[in-house]
Structure 1
Amino acid sequence: MEIVEVGPRDGLQNEKRVLPTRTKVEYARRAVAAGLRRLEVAAFARPDRMPQLADAEDVLRGVPRGAGVRYIALVLNGRGLDRILALDPGHRPDEINFVVVATDEFARRNQGMTTMASLDGFRSVAGRARAAGLGVTLTVAAAFGCPFTGEVRPDRVREIVADAGAMDELCLADTIGVGVPAQVGELAAAVREVVDVPLRAHFHNTRNTGYANAIAAATLGFVALDASLGGIGGCPFAPAATGNIATEDLAYLLNRSGLATGVAVPHAAATGAWIGAELGLDTLPAQLGRAGDFPG
């Protein structure tokens, strides 16, 4: 089971402290050393909206390459893709992740446009990115619920995905951590009616259901799960959204369930503790840093 490490992007974007580029590069290096092989490390967004990630190009120039590692960058529009394509090919990400928010109200607050307008942007960017040899993931954010309008129906998510066009992977995101395992199954069934691509999931543990949702997704055939070392992060545009499920805790759960991740849990926990200290956090959501691996 593949864990996608999103701490260097989704984790850092919600933290108050802005880390220097060298620390972000070291974060990626330590994550790779812990066994992670797919990492979302940059966001090509407006620096005034995401000052924590304003050095996207420099991070991508510095992260370690090779050893089967693939890097992902968040892209929100054509300008972001232009910045990627301006990089030397050896410094580009291997994939882009484009986010479309499931509800118009959240989409307006997050991206300044409606869901369908954002979807138009995805189709344009996805075509150009694939032509340039980049993998393309569409993430449907707030797929499990919206902080402003409430419940999101599975057929709403299905309609978005049906209109999206070509992609290499679809990620269903519980951006505010309201989902439960039954919804994972309902959404998976809904989107599989209209697309035949690998499914990935992104869970937050706001209401302590993130790990239950993750194991549900694993049993339903999702091929990848997002997590962040230490459980850092959240969504700066969603009220009260807490951190992602923690990489070290998720790796422990999956490894012990017979779903090998390739992640060395003690090394991952140590990296989670390290990034927490770099951010000046007194406590972390992750449990493995305190409880330890088993058997020890």
Structure 2
Amino acid sequence: MTSAADDSNNEVADLVGKLVASEETDGAERRRLLGRLGGALARSAGKARQRGVGRGRWLADVFMNIAPRLPVRDLETLREHHYGLTGEQLADDLVRTAAKATTAVGAVGGALAAAEFAAPPLLLSAPAQIVAETLVVAAIEVKLLAELHEVYDVRVPGNGTQRAAAFALAWSKQRGVNPLAPGSATLALGTAAKTALRNRLMRTLGRHLTTLGPFLTGAVAGGALNRAATKKLAAAVRADLRRQRALPRSDAPASELTPPSSGKPPASG
């Protein structure tokens, strides 16, 4: 039998997965999903406080429950969803799509937080929306990082949980995974890795807190900050991956954290 905390965390992972996988989600649906996510996170945080878990540790635990479920696509699926592009052109399109997604999440999240900022009785609920935005943006960027490894043919060893942890750690350090590093899979599951992830999530949360403001200022700031951060991450990761493997690559079988859904329409980029 699952606990109430497990149920809340599973609901969070499911909602984040929907927000990350739906590249074509319209603004109204994105707002609806973010609102539901904020409520689920508030319930999960309440259970964590009852157990005496600190906010940073709770945030990292929630994200590590999300990471193995991210719908990371293999190279063949990526090419299908991005109109047959390969190599650097495919990587460029992935970055554009991810930056567009984090910009949209920042705009919606900032607008929700701004509306609550302008209504004092609702101010206490604003942090839940900021946490929701933080987790979704982190998930989009980790998915981007993992798919860039597919494009550049850099194979990360281990099972799904180990690869998810390796990609999350790489995101926390803003670089690519080095699969040749000794014990790279087990290192990603260690205490130091969890601390690095917690610190990066809290820094991202702090960045999103700066979008709290009246009217549309939060939406504008949230979108701009997220877009810049996603592009900066992608540039650093791609530089790492280019050093590890030159493009173009052959169409070898690729690893993925979870199988991509069938019948998904191509991304607009």
Give the shorter-chain TM-score range.
0.3 to 0.5
With the length of structure 2 as denominator, give the TM-score of the two structures.
0.32
Highest relative contact order (Cα 8 Å, sep 6+), 1 or 2? 2
More strand by share: 1
More helix by share: 2
With the length of structure 1 as denominator, give the TM-score of the two structures.
0.30
